[in-house]
């Protein structure tokens, strides 16, 4: 699997960083001619390789843990807490807003639904004196490798049926402020959180999304 290492070198060279070659202890020699030659050769190799190889460059393991989902559609849940009668907003208002953005990014399921492992939860809390909190969370199904579901069988022996999965928050963004009884303030703030999630999700899942779009186009 030398391709990712080559592409990492291409990325560094494309940024104009010099390559230092160690020739002897305590001595560094910078070969500009060799550097330019390597830069040209590696850049050509990069153009010949598929875009999916470069797609996830810069994505950390922690970011993959947070948002990697193989570019599969996500589930959506909306929760409202507080008195929304003064601002004339309903749960459906936020559902329509979030669904339209997720559908535009092609990461929301059809009307048939989708039992995916990643759940996107949008929570809006209205407090006193026009204060509000908007929070967007990503939940993944995680499991403890040492915990398994055990069921009793007829002969008295215990049978392990598989690992137990629990939803856990892996990514979160939120904001709080005053809406002044202007509903657009709350909806706009919530939509910004959804847009931020989409940007991060597509960046972390870029290689899978590229492969998915190429497959649809065939």
Instruction: Report the distance separating Cα 57 and Cα 135, nearest Å.
Output: 29
Closest by Cα among 145, 149, 130, 134 to 97: 134
Query: Does residue 132 carry a pLDDT above 80?
Result: yes
pLDDT of residue 163: 76
pLDDT of residue 38: 43
Q: What are the residues whose beta carbons fall under 8 Å from the beta carbon of 165, sequence distance 6 or more? A: 141, 142, 143
Instruction: Report the distance separating Cα 180 and Cα 86, nearest Å.
Output: 10
pLDDT of residue 116: 58
Place of tokens 């309903």: 90
Q: Which of 43-52, 110-119, 139-148, 167-176 has the highest mean pLDDT?
A: 167-176
Closest by Cα among 80, 68, 202, 206 to 138: 68
Between these two residues, 218 and 175, which has the higher pLDDT value?
Answer: 175
- Token pair of 156 as six digits: 């008295």
Confidence of residue 30 (pLDDT cuts 50, 70, 90): very low
DSSP codes, 79-120: EEES--TTTT--HHHHHHHHHHHHHHTT-S--TT----SEEE
Confidence of residue 144 (pLDDT cuts 50, 70, 90): confident
Closest by Cα among 218, 195, 181, 212 to 55: 212
**Lowest mean pLDDT across 40-54, 103-117, 148-162:** 40-54
- Token pair of 207 as six digits: 């290689």
**Lowest mean pLDDT across 7-16, 39-48, 157-166:** 7-16
Percent of the chain past pLDDT 90, that is, above it, reads 46
Helix (H, G, I), strand (E, B), or coil: what is residue 66? helix
Query: Does residue 23 carry a pLDDT above 50?
Result: no
Instruction: Report the distance separating Cα 175 and Cα 87, nearest Å.
Output: 18
Confidence of residue 34 (pLDDT cuts 50, 70, 90): very low
Confidence of residue 125 (pLDDT cuts 50, 70, 90): very high
Instruction: Report the distance separating Cα 49 and Cα 176, nearest Å.
Output: 45
Closest by Cα among 122, 143, 123, 124 to 74: 122
**Lowest mean pLDDT across 12-21, 105-114, 160-169:** 12-21
Between these two residues, 48 and 4, which has the higher pLDDT value?
Answer: 48
């Amino acid at each position: 699997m030398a391709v990712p290492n080559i592409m990492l070198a291409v990325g560094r060279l494309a940024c104009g960083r010099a390559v230092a070659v160690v020739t002897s202890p305590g001595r560094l020699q910078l070969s500009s001619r060799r550097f330019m030659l390597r830069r040209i050769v590696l850049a050509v190799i990069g153009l010949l390789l598929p875009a999916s190889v470069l797609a996830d460059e810069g994505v950390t393991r922690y970011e993959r843990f947070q948002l990697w989902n193989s570019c599969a559609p996500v589930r959506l849940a909306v929760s409202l807490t507080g008195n929304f009668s003064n601002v004339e907003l309903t749960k459906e208002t936020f559902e329509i807003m979030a669904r339209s953005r997720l559908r535009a990014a092609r990461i929301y399921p059809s009307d048939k639904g989708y039992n995916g492992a990643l759940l996107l939860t949008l929570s809006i809390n209205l407090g006193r004196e026009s204060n509000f909190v908007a929070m967007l969370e990503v939940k993944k199904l995680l499991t403890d490798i040492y915990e398994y579901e055990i069921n009793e069988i007829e002969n008295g022996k215990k049978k392990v049926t598989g690992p137990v999965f629990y939803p856990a928050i892996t990514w979160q963004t939120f904001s709080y402020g005053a809406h002044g009884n202007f509903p657009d303030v709350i909806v706009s703030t919530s939509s910004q959180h959804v847009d931020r999630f989409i940007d991060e999700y597509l960046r972390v899942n870029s290689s899978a999304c590229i492969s998915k779009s190429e497959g649809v186009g065939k």
